Structure 1
Amino acid sequence: MNIDLHGKTALVTGSTQGIGFAIALGLAEAGAKVVINGRKAPAVDAAVAKLQQAVSGAQVQGLTADVGSAEGCRQAIAHLPEVDILVNNVGVYGPQDFFDTPDDEWERFFQVNVMSGVRLSRAYLPGMAQKGWGRVLFISSESALNIPADMIHYGFTKTSNLSVSRGLAKRMAGTGVTVNAILPGPTLSEGLQDMLKDEQAASGESLEKTAAAFVMKNRPTSIIQRAASMEEVANMVVYIASPQASATTGAALRVDGGVVDSLA
């Protein structure tokens, strides 16, 4: 399968590192013009340079805006009035007991993880529909279905991603625009690497083996019995963003290694 995204502009929110950067890289390799987004200009500039170095001839630009706020979304839309592919990737996470999680933390998670995608989708979907082609993807999580007891506020936002994605797919019926959600499981991102660095140092094992042990302890239903790579998640996103995925919409597509113990 040859995925060709030449002539398409893709905005990936929260893409200066981690899964977001891997997605931006994959889209650039497929020929898309990629817009890397982050809150801080130095991080955005560094990511743009890194992607340009990795993909010869890549069309890439930076967009510094905090899309976790209404004002940041307005700035992003003013700078970039239309896109063909929108990947709502930006997100925050972190464990905190339900009884210790105050209202403002619930609100912060909701604004970043949910409302960023709501606001940007509301801005960009009409233009996609007018052109008769577009792709919107929400990066959810297996935690949307497998709500973690120590991150209920996070799981809530990821379930919300599924609701918004499914509803928007129905709203865009017949327009040529698809809307889908991607559900990664434990992924060997910088965040997981940082979380495991002390454990890895103590064990003397490789990062991959340390991550695999972490997965089997915390997500014992994993079928692949390891953490996914960021590229494996990005591969799913690139396919769903492609013309070849035109019959896939309103779906919750798992890249969770089989963590969610369900047939559907």
Structure 2
Amino acid sequence: MRIDLSGKTALITGSTAGIGFAIAQGLAAAGASVVINGRTEARVSDAVQRLREVNPDATINGVAADLSKADGCAALLRQVPATDILVNNLGIFKAQDFFDTPDEEWQRFFEVNVLSGVRVSRAYVPHMLEKNWGRVVFLSSESGINIPEDMIHYGFTKSANLSVSRGLAKRLAGTGVTVNAVLPGPTLSDGVMDLLRPGADKQGVPIEQAGNAFVKAKRPTSIIQRVATPDEVANMVVYVCSPQASATTGAALRVEGGIVDTLT
């Protein structure tokens, strides 16, 4: 299968590192003109430069905007008024006990992980409908189905991503615009590596080994018994954004190594 996204523009939120950057790289390699997004000019400029080095023939642009705020979304829309592909990747995570998580933290996670995707989807999908072609992808998580006891506030937002994705897909029934959710499991992103590094250094083992040990201890139902790579998640997203995925919509597509022990 050869995925060709030439002539398409793809916007990936929260894409200066980790899974988001891998998605941007995959879409650029497929021929799409890519827009990188992050909160600061420095991180965006660095990500744009790194992506251009890997894909020298691709059209790569960047927009610094905090999409957890309405004015940040408005700033993004002014610079990128339309896109064919929207990947709602922006998200944060943090382990914290339910009884130690204040209202402000619940609100922060909701603004970043849920409302950012709602805002930009509301802004960009009408243009897709005018062209009768578009792809919207929400990055959820296996934690949206298998709620972690030490990150209930995070799992809640990832469940919300699934609800918004499915509902929006139904709202766009009969059109050429598809909406799907992709559910990674533990993935060796920059943020996860930062969490694993102290323990890995203390034990004198590679981060990958520490990640695999985490999966076996904390996600024992994993079938692959290891952390995934950002590229493995990105591959699913690139496919969902392709013309070949035209009959895939309203789906929750799992790239979590079989952690969720269910047939569907």
Shorter-normalised TM range:
over 0.9
> What value does the CA root-mean-square deviation take over the aligned residues?
0.7
Who is 2:257 aligned against? 257
Who is 1:117 aligned against? 117
Q: Secondary structure of the residue that 2:174 maps to in structure 1?
A: coil
Distance in 2 between residues matched to 1:164 and 1:124, nearest whole Å: 15
Distance in 2 between residues matched to 1:36 and 1:263, nearest whole Å: 36
* 1:152-171 mapped onto 2 (5 Å cutoff): 152-171=152-171
Who is 2:32 aligned against? 32
1:87 aligns with 2:80: no
Q: Secondary structure of the residue that 1:92 maps to in structure 2?
A: coil
Farther-moved stretch of structure 1 (196-205 vs 209-218): 196-205
User: Once the 2 structures are TM-superposed, how far is the Cα of residue 78 of structure 1 from its aligned partner?
Assistant: 1.3
Map Cα deviations across residues 159-191 of structure 1 (whole Å, 9 max, x no partner).
000000000000011110000000000001111
TM-score, length of structure 2 as denominator length: 0.99
Q: Percent identity?
A: 64
- Name segments (4+ residues, structure 1) moved above 3 Å: none
User: Once the 2 structures are TM-superposed, how far is the Cα of residue 67 of structure 1 from its aligned partner?
Assistant: 0.6
* 1:43-192 mapped onto 2 (5 Å cutoff): 43-192=43-192
User: Once the 2 structures are TM-superposed, how far is the Cα of residue 260 of structure 1 from its aligned partner?
Assistant: 0.7
Map Cα deviations across residues 141-170 of structure 1 (whole Å, 9 max, x no partner).
000000011111110000000000000000
Distance in 2 between residues matched to 1:101 and 1:194, nearest whole Å: 21
Letter in 1 for 2:79: H
TM-score, length of structure 1 as denominator length: 0.99
Letter in 1 for 2:43: A
Farther-moved stretch of structure 1 (180-189 vs 94-103): 94-103
Distance in 2 between residues matched to 1:208 and 1:175, nearest whole Å: 43
Who is 1:193 aligned against? 193
Give 5+ residue unaligned stretches, structure 1: none
